[in-house]
Amino acid sequence: MTTLHSNGRKTVGVLALQGDFREHREMLERMGHEVREVRKPAQLEGLDALIIPGGESTTIARLILSNGFQQPLRDFCDSGRPVWGTCAGAILLARNVDRLDRPGIEMMDISVRRNAFGRQVDSFEAALDVKGIEGEPFHAVFIRAPQIEEVRAPAEAIATLPDGTVVAAREGNLLATSFHPELTGDTRLHELFLTIGRNGHE
Ligand code: GLN
């Protein structure tokens, strides 16, 4: 586990409307970062980066709209600071989603299908090669996960299952993963995430 020196310490927000925001917070704190649970749009101010956690995408979408978060989150994505959606968070970042009853944030040029692995494989694990991550494969945990069915430039796929299914994509300062890196001890994806900002927001 990496512990950063004070000069590498960032203030990272985790959207805390619903879902597994605590697990992200704990991992980021173990890495030496300051973490803010974000429940109101004003709390986005002053953050270096933002995570949209896993959970139930329909519930989080509803709470995004009812708390006036949609435009502030779009503006945050536009600001060049890193934004990462894990699982339900990836669904919310996608421009196209099947069966989401209201709009999410819709900022990444990807199409996502919810619960796409079917009932029999509600949850599974896989070893992934992720573009930008060195060393051994990344151990990925999938829980009622979405598939990234289409990735349109400038978005690019950065991890696939052996059958070619895309499970992670990046578009500039935006990152989407179908799986849950906050549930394992491996901090490499959280580290990568904090480097993907643009315009001096790395
Ligand atoms: N199945 C959930 C949804 O579609 C996502 C699951 C998760 O975030 N672990 O919202």
Domain boundaries, the chain: 11-193
List the residue whose alpha carbon is closest to atom 1 of ligand 1.
144
CA of 115 to the centre of ligand 1 (A): 7
Ligand 1 surroundings by CB, under 6 angstroms:
54-57, 87-88, 91, 114-115, 143-144
Q: Tens of pLDDT along 104-161?
A: 999 999 999 999 997 767 899 999 999 999 999 999 999 999 999 999 999 999 999 9
Residue 122: the pLDDT is 84
The rounded percent of the chain whose pLDDT value lies above 70 is 95
How far from each other are the two terminal CA atoms of the chain, in whole angstroms?
20
| Interval 24-32 mean pLDDT | 98
d(CA 70, CA 24): 21
Rounded to two decimals, the pTM is 0.94
Q: Tens of pLDDT along 65-98?
A: 999 999 999 999 999 999 999 999 999 999 999 9
CA of 157 to the centre of ligand 1 (A): 20
Alpha-helical regions (H) of the chain: 21-30, 57-66, 70-78, 88-93, 188-193
Residue 30 predicted with pLDDT over 80: yes
Query: What would be the CATH architecture of the domain defined by 11-193?
Result: 3-Layer(aba) Sandwich (3.40)
- Nearest-atom number in ligand 1 for the CA of 53 is 8
